[in-house]
Structure 1
Amino acid sequence: MERITLGNTYFEGENDTYLFTGDRTTLIDTGIATEGTREQLADSLAEYGVSFADVDDIFLTHYHADHAGLAAEIQDAGGATVHAHPEDAPLIEGDDEAWDDFRDQQRRAFDEWGMPENRQEALLTVMQTGVDHHAAGSEVETFADGDRFDVGETTLEVMHTPGHTAGLSSFVMTDRNEVFTGDAVLPVYTPNVGGADVRVDRPLERYLDALGRIADADFDRAWPGHRDPIDDPTARAEEIVHHHEERAYRVLRALDDLGPASAWKVSDELFGDLENIHVLHGPGEASAHLDHLTRAGAIEKDDDGTYTLPDDTRERFHDRDDGRWPL
């Protein structure tokens, strides 16, 4: 297996694509559909004697442009089979109805979060640029959790790890106790939940469950979708859980300070004024936490879409001195 690092100025920094050679030539993720990244991937593959037309299989961790953007072009070059989870497959295929439904859900979410109209329009412009980099149009074969595929000298087993997107999947190398995590576990950033894919029901709950699966598996190493390998995936997964416990505490503190507030106002309290794609991610993550805390009975959602901190939660919150709220 070879790790290929690709430039990415749009999202979480450099992307990772993974190459397997042998009886079948396989890629995990492809990078974003920009001219610079396209040339970078083609040149890197050529160092191993591989062209786009030589690729037999592409396994996509999820639909986001920086992971799936070049899949259609590679498939067109040589007929590679593109594999993805059924939750994300229609977006990778470029299904118009799926994308229309997705955009409608985003607009409804923006209203529910309390995002001002002028900020919505600016954000939609930014996101259209991102859609342009999807270069959707692949024909996709879907997989399910637990499916296995022979790749080079190893076998990949699908581990569905949703939260960041509905279909986000990791791939376990069964002979090496190592895992490709896409954006489920990253070495530097904490993957966004709530904004990155508004289709996900109970996004924080599902993401915490995914982190639990990864931690419990006790992998020897994780190969993420961005930046360097992770030598202790269990510790990193647990660190991200602790991060969200700290964020939950900050959400409660925001409600304590603000009184009844929308996700937009809580986001402003947490992250300040945001720009570009972060205008999506900030209130999205605030909403994911507010939803999770509401379902747990820690806060209440009012008819006008604002959230309130009940007196009993306020007392328990004030009694905590560790800066965390257990999730």
Structure 2
Amino acid sequence: MTIEITGSAQWEAWQAKVLPPVERVADGLWSIPVPIPDNPLRYVLVYALECREGLVLVDAGWDDDVSWQALTDGIRTIGAHITDVRAVLVTHHHPDHLGLAGRVREASGAWVALHTLDAAVARPGLSPEERSEDIRSHLELHGIPGDEARRTVDLLDVGRALQSPAPDVLLEDGEEIRLPGLELKTIWTPGHSPGHSCFYQPDRRLLFSGDHVLPRITPQIAVYSQTAGDPLADFLRSLERLETFEVDEVLPAHEYRFGRLDRRLADMTRHHIERLAELRAAARETPGRTAWELSARLAWSRPWESFDATSRRFAMAETIAHLVLLENRGELRRGADRPVRWYPAATI
């Protein structure tokens, strides 16, 4: 099934691998692309909504001087100024969404809103050294050899993640966000992050989907050292929940705007069902493999051998998320040794 592309200029820019234009989406609603330096996603689509008191932003962008310039220039393009921003609604805590919120607050006095669960994750109370050791131990636990685990951690900008701006307002599921002339509803959609939230504008049937629903790729659903619970199960339930909302257009944080949300939800669900079947078969064919070893046996968008250390870390984290769901369904079991090895449930 195919979606309906509604952001034609954004789609054309994506194909051409250039930054899309600042674009008027509807009366009082603008899309402002903010670049992410050295990242294959290229940019975050920040949405600016007019209210009678000024502007409300959905997401803020990566904390970098180039990104800040693009955001402030974009706001000037629509005839406003950064000081007009009254609120920043952040879909989730990842630095390409939350990062610039602190600068926006300093420049304008705006309040920053984030779901309660993501506020806790964004500021975990660890030193950079403690966080690095925690990540390294997790990588080795799931099968990455010690030398590669250390090299992988050395590539991470741990300090940036620990310096995320703290929100002023903590959001909960179903919370109504009301400003003069503007109303939005918070929809808690965990999976990509514990507190990921979409924002729904019912009078226009618009969904600001963050990273939860994108038109071309599926968001990363992963288990890292600080991940609790079963994020893939949460994500699949969140997809089902969105089926109950009447949505004419989806405004994602990356790529381009689209319609036919129902088709995209079905495609994303099918992708994970197929990945679960692939992983289940791999674990049964070669019992006792680590998540690292199983990751190398799965079909990715490009050969495993071409992945750099960061891409392999991401891939393994996704594999663990699928293993956890299969474990919770009683289909797979993990052994007690270190590194963790996975077996069909009936063999242990």
Give TM class, smaller chain: 0.7 to 0.9
Q: Report how far residue 215 of structure 1 moved.
A: 2.3
SS at match of 1:216: coil
In structure 1, distance between residues paired with 2:176 and 2:230: 28
Tell me the residue number matched to 1:122.
151
Q: Does 1:247 align with 2:280?
A: no
Distance apart, 1:222 and its partner CA: 1.2
Superposition pairs for residues 115-194 of structure 1, below 5 Å? Answer: 115-128=144-157, 131-132=159-160, 136-151=164-179, 153-194=181-222
The separation in 2 between residues aligned to 1:179 and 1:98, in whole angstroms, is: 37
CA RMSD, Structure 1 to Structure 2 (Å) = 2.5
- What is the percent sequence identity of the aligned residues? 24
64-73 or 22-31: which moved more?
Answer: 22-31
Q: Cα offset for 1:96?
A: 3.6
Cα distance, 1:230–1:106 mapped onto 2, change above 3 Å: farther
> Is 1:52 aligned to residue 82 of structure 2?
yes
Q: CA deviation at 1:232?
A: 1.2
CA 1:277–1:153 in structure 2 vs 1: closer, same or farther (change >3 Å)? Answer: farther
Give the counterpart letter for 2:288 in structure 1: P
* Residue aligning to 1:266: 294
The whole-number CA distance in structure 2 between the counterparts of 1:197 and 1:59 is: 27
Alpha-carbon separation, structure 2, partners of 1:203 and 1:35:
33
Contact 1:164 1:197 in 2 (8 A): no
**Partner amino acid, structure 1, of 2:237:** D
Distance 1:138 1:308, change over 3 A: closer
Task: Find the counterpart in structure 1 of residue 327 from structure 2.
Answer: 294
Answer with 18-27 or 237-246: which moved more: 18-27
Whether the 8 Å CA contact 2:138–2:225 is kept in 1: the answer is no
Aligned 8 A contact 1:32 1:133 in 2:
no
Q: Which deviates the most, 111-120 or 16-25?
A: 111-120
Normalized against structure 1, the TM-score is what? 0.86
**Cα deviation per residue 1:4-33 (whole Å; 9 max; x = unaligned)?**
122223253321100012323110001101
Q: How does 1:1-327 map to 2 (within 5 A)?
A: 1-8=29-36, 9-10=38-39, 12-24=41-53, 25-92=55-122, 94=123, 96-97=125-126, 106-128=135-157, 131-132=159-160, 136-151=164-179, 153-195=181-223, 198-270=226-298, 271=300, 272-273=304-305, 274-304=307-337, 305-309=340-344
Alignment partners' CA distance in 1, 2:69 and 2:237 = 38
CA–CA distance in structure 1, aligned partners of residues 64 and 153 of structure 2: 20
Q: Tell me, what secondary structure is at the counterpart of 1:192? A: coil
Corresponding residue SS for 2:184: strand
TM-score (norm 2): 0.81
Question: Measured at CA, do residues 46 and 18 of structure 1 come closer, stay the same or move farther in structure 2, by a change above 3 Å?
Answer: same
CA distance in 2, matches of 1:104, 1:278: 19
The alpha carbon displacement at 1:142 in A equals 0.3
Q: Which has the higher strand share?
A: 2
Contact between 1:64 and 1:134, CA under 8 Å: does it hold in 2? no
SS at match of 1:146: coil
How far apart in 2 are the matches of 1:87 and 1:102? Answer: 19
Offset at 1:36? 1.5
Unmatched segments (≥5 aa) in structure 1: 313-327
State the shift of 1:88 in Å.
Answer: 1.4
Alpha carbons 2:33, 2:44 under 8 Å: kept = yes
